[in-house]
Amino acid sequence: MSQINGAILVLSGPSGAGKSSLIAKIIDDIGETYFSISTTTRPMREGERDGVDYYFVDKEEFEREVEEEQFLEHALVHSNYYGTSIKPVKKALSEGKLVIFDIDVQGNNAIKNRLSDITTSVFISPPTLSELKRRLIKRSTDSQEVIDRRVNMAKREIQRVSEYEYLLINDDLDVAAQKLRLIAQTARLKKASEEINEFVQRWEDC
């Protein structure tokens, strides 16, 4: 990827960890951002909007986009496909924005392999598994079967927390938001290795 002035903030964690609430709390304090809208084959939930929460496509369309190499990364999560399109991310990075991804551990791994120099990764978790269960039940947007699947997924994902730079435990929303605000503001300061090389070159030439 050329002309990178921005940076990436990867947020992962189980549904029910409070990622959206945390983002909503800090979004006005962290400068210009682009929140990456993923493409998915998962059915739309009540209250979700196409092009806002996700781009909702069928399996054939998703596979076509994979074939055309339109994704920066893609993964199978809870037996549905999810992918991050390259184009808008490239544009936002060239505009110097902080690009925020809400992606799973597989996605984090892929981004780390491709863009580690400008990426900061945070795993957001409720304090305990029982608290996660309580939040998922309270949210009541999913069936018991879906909740069970998410809980099992969370148990697997928590084993990979060490792949992240930060573990943010969302117990008290305000405290967690303050920590995430600091992480996001610092994430923006990461520089692409190309930019660093150019700086060194210029610095030596002067």
Contact positions toward ligand 5GP, by CB under 6 A? 12, 15, 38, 42, 73, 75, 77-78, 82-84, 102-104, 106-107
Give the nearer residue to ligand 5GP in terms of CB position, either 77 or 184: 77
CB closer to ligand 5GP, 77 vs 118: 77
DSSP state of 139: H
- Residue among 109 and 185 whose Cβ is closer to ligand 5GP: 109
| CB-closest chain residue to ligand 5GP | 107
Q: What is the DSSP string of 149-205?
A: HHHHHHHHHHTTGGGSSEEEE-SSHHHHHHHHHHHHHHHTT---HHHHHHHHHHHHH
Sheet architecture: strand order including 33-35: 33-35, 98-102, 7-12, 119-125, 166-169
Please state the closest distance from residue 94 (CB atom) to ligand 5GP, in A: 20
Q: How far is the CB of 15 from ligand 5GP (least distance, A)?
A: 4
Least distance to ligand 5GP, CB of residue 106, Å: 5
Minimum CB separation from ligand 5GP for residue 40, in Å? 6
Q: Which is nearer to ligand 5GP, 83 or 126 (CB)?
A: 83
Q: How far apart are CA 192 and CA 43, in angstroms?
A: 37
Would residue 140 be called left, alpha or beta, if left means φ above 0 and alpha means ψ between -120 and 50 degrees? left
